[in-house]
Structure 1
Amino acid sequence: MKRKISLLLCLVLIVSALAGCGSKKDELPNTEDRQDLTIAITAEPTSLDYSLANELNTFSIAGNVYEGLVRKEADGSLVPGLAESWTYNDDQTEITFTLREGVKFHNGETMTADDVVFSFQRALESKSTARMTGAIESVEKIDDTHVLMKLKYSYGPIEGCLANVNCAIVSKSAVEADPEGFGRAPVGAGPYQVVEWKSGEKIVMKAFADYHRGEAKIKDLTYMVIADSTSALVALEKGQIDVIANTQTSDKQNITSNANLQYDETIADSFFFLTFNNAEGLFADNVKLRQAIAYAIDKESILLGAMEGIGSVAHSVIPGNCFGAPENPDDYEYNPEMAKQLLAEAGYPDGLTINMPTMSSGYYVKISDILVDQLRQVGITVNQELMERTAYLQDVYTNCQYDMSVLSISALQPDADFITFMRYHSDYIGGGNNFTKVNNPKLDELLEIGRFDSDPAKRTAAYAELCQIIKDDAVLLPLVNPPVGVAGNVKLQGLKAFSDQSIYVYDLSWGA
Structure 2
Amino acid sequence: MKKLGALLLAAALVMSMTACGGGNKNTGEGTAAPAGESSTDAGTKAGESGGEKTLNVGTINVLGTFMPGSENEVCHWGCYLVYDYLFYYDEDNNPFSDILKEWHYEEDGTTFVMECRDDVYFANGDQMTGDDVLFSIKTLVDRETNQAAYYATVDWDKSYVSEDGFTVYLANTQEFGPGIINMGVVYLLDQSWCEETGFDNIDPWLNAPNGSGPYEVAEYVTDSYVTLKRRDSYWGEFTGADTVKINHYAEDSAMYMALETGEIDLALNIAESDYSRALTDDKIAVMTTHEGENILLALDNNNQYMKDENVRLAIAYGVNWQDVAESARGELAEVPGSIITSVSPYYKDTGVYEYDLEKAKQYMEAAGYVTDGSTVNFTLNMTTVDQAVKTNAATVIQFYLQQLGINLQMNFTDFPTAFSAWLTEGGTDLNFQDSDTGSVCGEPYISLRFFPAELATFPFAAISDETFVTLYKEANYTTDDDVRKEKYAELQQYVHDRAMIIPLYESVDAVAYNPEKIESVSLHSAVSANLRYVILK
Tell me which interval the TM-score lies in, with the shorter structure as reference length: 0.7 to 0.9
**CA distances 1:318-375 after superposition (whole Å, capped 9, x unpaired):** 12232332233474744264586589749x93553624313525x4454334334434
Report the equivalent of 2:6: none
1:303 correspondence with 2:325: yes
From 150, 155, 167, the counterpart of 1:137: 155
The structure 2 residue matched to 1:36, chosen from 54, 57, 79, is 54
Q: CA deviation at 1:305?
A: 3.8
Match of 1:119 in 2: 136
Partner of 1:223: 246
**Aligned counterparts, 1:419-438, within 5 A:** 419=446, 422-430=449-457, 436-438=461-463
Q: Which amino acid aligns with 1:503?
A: A
Separation in 2 of the partners of 1:225 and 1:375?
40
Change (3 A) 1:499 1:367: farther
Q: Secondary structure at the match of 2:81?
A: coil
User: Which residue does 1:247 correspond to in 2?
Assistant: 270
- 395-404 vs 470-479, greater mean Cα deviation: 395-404
Residues 142/444 of structure 1: CA separation in 2 closer, same or farther (3 Å cut): same
2:177–2:481: 8 Å Cα contact kept in structure 1? no
CA distance in 2, matches of 1:453, 1:141: 24
- For 1:103, the equivalent position in structure 2 comes to 120
Contact kept? 2:121, 2:128, Cα under 8 Å: yes
Partner of 1:443: 468
What is the deviation of 1:458? 4.2
Aligned: 1:463 with 2:488: yes
Query: In 2, are the aligned partners of 1:270 and 1:319 still within 8 Å (CA)?
Result: yes
Residues 65 and 351 of structure 1, relative CA distance in 2, 3 Å threshold: farther
Q: How far, CA to CA, are the matches of 1:288 and 1:273 in structure 2?
A: 19
Conserved? CA contact 1:484–1:498, under 8 Å: no
Look up the match of 2:233.
Answer: 210
Does residue 500 of structure 1 match 2:526? Answer: yes
Task: Quickly say closer, same or farther: Cα 1:77–1:471, change in 2 above 3 A.
Answer: closer
TM-score (ref. length: structure 2): 0.72
**Structure 2: where are the runs of 5+ without partners?**
1-48
Does the alignment pair 1:169 with 2:169?
no
CA separation of 1:427 and 1:90: change in aligned 2, threshold 3 A:
same
Contact in 2 for aligned 1:208/1:215 (Cα 8 Å): no
The Cα of 1:287 is off from its aligned counterpart by: 5.9
Q: CA deviation at 1:430?
A: 1.7
Between the aligned partners of 1:225 and 1:369, the Cα distance in structure 2 is: 31
Give the conservation status (yes or no) of the 8 Å contact 2:161–2:169. yes
> Secondary structure, in 3 states, of the residue corresponding to 2:269?
coil
Question: Aligned pairs, how many?
Answer: 472
SS for the counterpart of 1:105 is coil
Greater RCO, 1 or 2 (C-alpha within 8 Å, sep 6+):
2
Which position in structure 2 is the counterpart of 1:150?
Answer: 171
Distance 1:435 1:381 in 2: 15
Larger Rg: 1
Relative distance call for 1:383 and 1:86 in structure 2 (3 A) is closer
Cα offset, 1:395, TM superposition: 5.7
One-letter amino acid matched to 2:134:
V
Asked if the contact 1:104–1:111 (Cα under 8 Å) also holds between the matched residues in 2, the reply is: yes
Q: 1:372-397 CA distances to partner (integer Å, 9 max, x unpaired)?
A: 44345555244341546xx5996688
Q: 1:152 to 1:331 in 2, by over 3 A?
A: farther
Shift of 1:220: 3.2
Q: 1:67 aligns with which of 84, 108, 119?
A: 84
2:301 matches 1:275? no
Q: What are the ranges of 5 or more consecutive residues in structure 1 without an aligned counterpart?
A: 1-30
Per the TM alignment, residue 487 of structure 1 is displaced from its structure 2 partner at its CA by 0.8
Residue 236 of structure 1 aligns to a residue in which SS?
A: helix
**Which residue of structure 1 aligns with residue 341 of structure 2?**
319
Between the aligned partners of 1:343 and 1:199, the Cα distance in structure 2 is 56
Q: Find the aligned partners of 1:445 and 1:118 in 2 and give their Cα distance.
A: 33
Instruction: Give the direction of change, closer, same or farther, for the CA distance of 1:497–1:110 in structure 2 (3 Å limit).
Output: closer
Cα 1:178–1:439, aligned 2, differ >3 Å: closer, same or farther? farther
TM-score normalised by the chain length of structure 1: 0.75
Counterpart mapping for 1:338-377 below 5 A: 341=365, 345=369, 349=376, 351-352=378-379, 354-358=381-385, 360=387, 363-377=389-403
Q: Which residue of 1 aligns with 2:434?
A: 408
CA change 1:290–1:103 in 2 (3 A) is same
- 1:435 offset after TM fit, Å? 7.4
Report the Cα offset of residue 233 of structure 1: 1.7
Name which of 400, 407, 412 aligns with 1:385: 412
> Identity over the aligned pairs, expressed in percent?
18
Q: Secondary structure at the match of 1:258?
A: coil
Distance 1:155 1:422 in 2: 13
